[in-house]
Amino acid sequence: MKILIIGGGNMGLTYAQSFLRSRIVTPDNLMVLCRTYEKANHLGETHEGRFFSDARHCVSEADLIILAVKPQDSPRMFEQIRGLAEPSQVFISIMAGVRIEAIARELGVNKIIRAMPNLPAQIGAGVTAFTSTDPVTRIELVMVQNLLNTTGKTLYVEQEAMIDAATAISGSGPAYVYYFMNAMIQAARQMGFSDSEAELLVAQTFTGAVDLYNKADLSCEGWIGKVASKGGTTEAALKIFRDTALHEDIVAGAQAALERARELGA
């Protein structure tokens, strides 16, 4: 199987390195199409695989093509490869907000998978929601899931609308976590901890809490109950969160992200 990744940015290279590391593909069968000759030449000197700047030299050779450019760059990308795509090729798009219908219309293809990875995919700890069109065969779908699994875990959804929902939750989600972590780090500094001490306390608290959640069959509410004793310190903090409607604000923020994802694809 020959794979072409269109886009030599962070996510494109994350996939390239993950596929090679897992030995799903060999360097000779992995191609990356870059925006400029200079970038293709630079990446070719520092990474395994074959790097191109001209779509005519690589698109027709691929069995599977990953569209890994920014959504705002999609019109240029469509223009670049239009007429070169083959109906037998499978296309995976990780472009936020770009609908399957738009890809099919612009490229004249029908084997399309739309996926939404997130940032931790860079270290193999991501989660990717994905869906597919009917012409994608079961064998092709399993093959694609194996590829996506090299960057973490996957979730198949039947409806394309759920990709926008995944964008709002898991795609944007790391930023929500970092936002909360940053506030806790700031609070630790104000309490007298040094920068490094504050970062250690907060980072390990998040890591440990998530690991504990994953290793036991207990809900978030259940774990909160184990930490927060009546009249204690945790309850004092939770009271402030409830009084300021922090829970509702987080839900509203995620909903705003969903609405924006829908707007981008309109």
Would you state the pLDDT for residue 265? 73
- pLDDT, one tens digit per residue, over 235-248 is 999 999 999 999 99
Q: Given this structure, which CATH class describes domain 173-264?
A: mainly alpha
Work out the mean pLDDT of the chain and round it to a whole number. 95
Give ∠ CA 168-172-177 in degrees, rounded to 5: 120
pLDDT category at 266 given cuts 50, 70, 90 is low
* pTM > 0.85: yes or no: yes
What tokens were used for 65?
């093509």
Delimit the CATH 3.40.50.720 region(s) of the chain: 3-158
- 152 CB contacts (<8 Å, ≥6 apart)? 117, 120, 121, 124, 125, 126, 127, 128
Would you state the pLDDT for residue 96? 86
Would you state the pLDDT for residue 213? 96
Please say if the pLDDT value at position 128 is more than 80: yes
Would you state the pLDDT for residue 262? 86
- pLDDT, one tens digit per residue, over 157-173 is 999 999 999 999 999 99
Would you state the pLDDT for residue 250? 97
Average pLDDT over residues 182-200: 98
Whole-angstrom Cα Rg for the chain: 22
Q: How far apart are the C-alpha atoms of 94 and 106, rounded to whole Å?
A: 16
Would you state the pLDDT for residue 264? 79
The correct answer on CATH 3.30.470.10 for the domain covering 3-158 is: no
Average pLDDT over residues 67-84: 93
Delimit the CATH 1.10.3730.10 region(s) of the chain: 173-264
Residues 18 and 125: beta-carbon distance below 8 Å: no
250: enclosing H helix or E strand: helix 246-264
Average pLDDT over residues 33-44: 93
Give 96-123 as a DSSP string: TT--HHHHHHHH----EEEEE--GGGGG
Average pLDDT over residues 150-159: 96
Would you state the pLDDT for residue 58? 96
The closest alpha carbon to 92, from 52, 56, 144, belongs to 144
